[in-house]
Amino acid sequence: MSEEASGSNLIYQAIIERYKEEWERTRSLDDKASNIIGVVGIAGSFVTGLGGFLLSSSQYQITLSEIKTILPVIFFFINIACFLTSLTFGLVAYHIKEYVHVPDPFMLIAKYGDKNKSEVTTVLQSTYADAVEENIKLNNKKVTALKRSFCLLFLSLIVLFIFSISLIHV
């Protein structure tokens, strides 16, 4: 095997490996998104139910004269807004996107069935490299949405803590 052919094969194998890694990253990000959606759903349901029950008592009727009775209500709605926004970003991250799948076997047979190995390897390298680049962009968008969802989940837990303290001091 010539030096050029072995270098080409090495590049081809590296690109294939990177393509597989990006698919594994996609699966991992989808798992994280579904976990965040589950946690936010459970915590949001708990907070909504408990908060609604606690705030339904007559002492939390909104009157502008007593700021202490309004604070728990404000924190409750801020908390719900944070949970809903976190859930939205989690769903955006989990949203099904069109990833680039390569190679298309029928296209390869039709276009390159009669070509030599070097030409086919060059075409495959280029096709896989383009697919990796496009899939990285899509996964990076997932990462951004997951980071936002996680930050909002954390913020909602802080607001939940403040909400709980505001209930104690009323």
pLDDT digits (tens, 9 = 90+) for 86-124: 999 999 999 877 877 777 777 777 777 777 878 878 888
Q: Indicate whether 145 pLDDT > 70.
A: yes
Specify the pLDDT at position 5.
Answer: 61
Tell me how long the chain is: 170
Full domain range(s) for residue 70: 3-168
Which value, in Å, is the radius of gyration of the alpha carbons in the chain?
Answer: 26
- Alpha helix (H) residue ranges in the chain: 3-55, 67-94, 105-112, 117-168
Please say whether the beta carbons of 22 and 135 come within 8 A: yes
Report the alpha-carbon distance of residue 41 to residue 124 in Å, rounded: 43
Q: Indicate whether 7 pLDDT > 90.
A: no
Q: Indicate whether 126 pLDDT > 60.
A: yes
Report the alpha-carbon distance of residue 50 to residue 30 in Å, rounded: 30
Average pLDDT over the chain, rounded to an integer = 83
Number of domains into which the chain is organized: 1
Share above pLDDT 70 across residues of the chain, in percent, rounded to a whole number: 87
Q: Indicate whether 76 pLDDT > 90.
A: no
